[in-house]
Chain A
Amino acid sequence: MDSTITLFLVQDGLINGSIYALLAVAFVLLFAVTRIIFVAQGDFVAYGGLTFAALQQGSVPGSIWLLAGLGVIAGILEFLRERHTLTRPRILGILAGDFIAPLALVGVVILVAPYDMPYLFDMALALALVVPMGPYIYRICFRPMANASVLVLLIGSVGVHWLMIGLGLLFFGAEGYRAAPMFGANFVVGPVLVSAQSLLVMGATLALLVGFYLFFGRTLAGKALMAAAVNARGASLVGISPSFSGRTAFLMAAFVGAISGILISPLTTLYYDSGFLIGLKGFVAAIVAGFASFPLAVAGAIAIGIAEAVSAFFASAFKEVIVFSLILPVLIWRSIRAPHHEED
């Protein structure tokens, strides 16, 4: 293996690793705040990427109907849940947030989809369509069972995953899509060819990770979310509502998924069910980090990305097998090393 190939593989590994890192952070965050192992995390990658690809091609992405449906269901549930305490501003708030806003967005998409809109506009529109699904899913499926065990929550999230896959097939069809890159340029760095899109992926990942770091380290909202993750009852005692933390965590998880999908859609062909394997690798990185440490999750994700690129080069048919087998020693080591923490 000469150095050109090595560098090429490292580049490939870094791109994939970046995406896995983002997803791993989302897994860790969501689990810490809500105790949900969110199997459907990867589906947001596929939804984000495919919604964006559809907009780029000038067609109406089917995912708009999911957004509208989720909004209406969440709104109706909200009315039922608060039926004894509804006030006029609250009624207007629910109508605006859960019925009018998603339906208006659907209208906008149907109107503008046939036109050739700027790259960034399509990107923002795809995010606006997919990201709100996160909090809606939390409100519909997970808030009602906030006190359930981790296992029951996991079963719930598997259910959401299958639903998203099934609807994904309906919305996007069985064929894959690849979006046009934002920048078509390539650079020659030493002996390797680096595409501008891959730099964009890595740059955006870095920016997002720094953004998370600042959000959790510097802002009160971020600290409140972190507090809810560290000690849920302590957080509620200072008035941080569990439902607010849950919605915010799901918002961030959906955002991370959707933006990852949009970023990689020009680099790889995405299918309606591609999200699962991508998500699984982020998930494995999260496990490596014991679902607790963000830096460990990122390091694990990058390592998985590189291991994957290297094994794809030498034995592409066995790529996934090799990657997942490599995880085993790490998991065994962790389960021996890691003490079982007492809740404090």
Chain B
Amino acid sequence: MSVLLTATDLSVSYGKVVAVHNIAIELPGSGIVTLIGANGAGKSTTLLSLMGVLPAKGKVMFDGIDITRSPVEERVEMGISLVSEKRDLFSSMSVEDNLRLGCYRRNRSHGGEALEEVFGRFPRLKERRHQLAATLSGGERQMLAMGRALMARPRLLMLDEPSLGLAPLIVRDIFRIVTDLKDSGIAILLIEQNARAALEVASAGYVMELGEITTHGPAGELINDRRLIESYLGIRQ
């Protein structure tokens, strides 16, 4: 399968603290790859740097083009979207305005179709299209953040803990939507606290510990890895 993104020797620091140290990641053009690891391992930092939000050392190639020095807006234009851990919604603006701004840089000429598509995927957002984003529930906020990212019709969608803080029923919805998106052909990089659930939908996984990638491989292998089972996966529920 073709390679969409490769990051090599990627390091990210907050001031003097090195949060991500010399990692390498390779993402295929389709399917889900998951990034798992304990809190503070550096997962969110990795995604923010791949998006260009945080400056990083190393090299990032996307679709054969060196984007190491590209600012965020250029990466958006090329088809990378990030749903950040904080969602980063425009809270004092309406649901519809949030979505419409999602195609500010990319796919603007098909904004209307994209909006209908997002409303089809998230009917709740359609019902609440005139409501302010601040008035949404946690699950709806997550849907809005995902919907906003999808408005640009990205080729690579990076999701940072989309199920964080949501009720189990809604988590199930979110996972169903993530697998739907995968089936529609978008490449997905997924950070997830529930490592077992993530590995069950993913084709490959990377395990991060203290800013470094310690293990990676096909999801089917990782899910049976004895050491991983002990530290992250727990007993099958």
List, in ascending order, chain A residues with CB within 8 A of B86's CB.
Answer: 233, 344
Q: Does B214 contact A (CB under 8 A)?
A: no
Which of chain A's residues has its CB closest to B94's CB? A223
Let me know if B51 and A237 touch, CB within 8 A.
yes
One of B91, B102, B149 near A230 (C-beta < 8 A): B91
Q: Does B77 contact A (CB under 8 A)?
A: yes
Q: Smallest CB–CB gap between B79 and chain A, Å?
A: 11
Let me know if B82 and A237 touch, CB within 8 A.
yes
Instruction: Please encode chain B, from 86 to 115, with 1 for each CB lying within 8 Å of some chain A CB and 0 for all others.
Output: 111111110001001111111000000000
Let me know if A240 and B69 touch, CB within 8 A.
no
A227-B90, A233-B53 given; A239·B69 CB < 8 A: no
Which of chain A's residues has its CB closest to B48's CB? A233
The complex places the Cα of A109 from the Cα of B91 at a distance, in Å, of 46
Which of chain B's residues has its CB closest to A239's CB? B105
List, in ascending order, chain B residues with CB within 8 A of A226's CB.
Answer: 90, 93
One of B87, B91, B102 near A238 (C-beta < 8 A): B102
Let me know if B84 and A241 touch, CB within 8 A.
no
Instruction: Please encode chain B, from 174 to 199, with 1 for each CB lying within 8 Å of some chain A CB and 0 for all others.
Output: 00000000000000000000000000
Summarize A's interface: helix, strand, loop or mixed: helix
Which of chain A's residues has its CB closest to B77's CB? A239
One of A84, A234, A238 near B105 (C-beta < 8 A): A238
The complex places the Cα of A223 from the Cα of B100 at a distance, in Å, of 10
The complex places the Cα of A241 from the Cα of B102 at a distance, in Å, of 13
The complex places the Cα of A235 from the Cα of B91 at a distance, in Å, of 12
Let me know if B91 and A223 touch, CB within 8 A.
no
Interface size on A, residues (CB 8 A): 19
Using a CB–CB cutoff of 8 Å, the interface residues on chain B facing chain A are 51, 53, 69, 71-73, 76-77, 81-82, 84, 86-93, 97, 100-106, 148-149, 152
Q: Smallest CB–CB gap between A222 and chain B, Å?
A: 11
Q: Smallest CB–CB gap between A231 and chain B, Å?
A: 5
The complex places the Cα of A234 from the Cα of B73 at a distance, in Å, of 12
Listed A/B pairs (20) with beta-carbon separation below 8 Å:
A220-B101, A223-B93, A226-B93, A227-B101, A230-B91, A230-B92, A231-B89, A231-B90, A233-B84, A233-B86, A237-B53, A237-B72, A237-B81, A237-B84, A237-B149, A239-B72, A240-B101, A241-B72, A344-B86, A344-B89
Let me know if A230 and B104 touch, CB within 8 A.
no
Q: Does A127 contact B (CB under 8 A)?
A: no
List, in ascending order, chain B residues with CB within 8 A of A85's CB.
Answer: 69
The complex places the Cα of A230 from the Cα of B73 at a distance, in Å, of 18
**New A-B pairs, 16, CB < 8 Å, besides A234-B89, A241-B71, A344-B86:** A220-B104, A223-B93, A223-B97, A226-B90, A226-B93, A227-B101, A231-B89, A233-B84, A236-B72, A236-B73, A237-B149, A238-B103, A239-B105, A241-B72, A241-B73, A344-B89
Q: Does A285 contact B (CB under 8 A)?
A: no
Let me know if A239 and B76 touch, CB within 8 A.
yes
The complex places the Cα of A234 from the Cα of B89 at a distance, in Å, of 6
Let me know if A231 and B91 touch, CB within 8 A.
yes
Q: Does A179 contact B (CB under 8 A)?
A: no
The complex places the Cα of A119 from the Cα of B103 at a distance, in Å, of 43
The complex places the Cα of A220 from the Cα of B104 at a distance, in Å, of 8
Let me know if B53 and A238 touch, CB within 8 A.
no
A34-87 contacts to B, CB under 8 A, are 84-85
A230-B93, A233-B88, A237-B82 given; A224·B101 CB < 8 A: yes
List, in ascending order, chain A residues with CB within 8 A of B103's CB.
Answer: 238
Let me know if B152 and A238 touch, CB within 8 A.
yes
Which of chain A's residues has its CB closest to B106's CB? A239
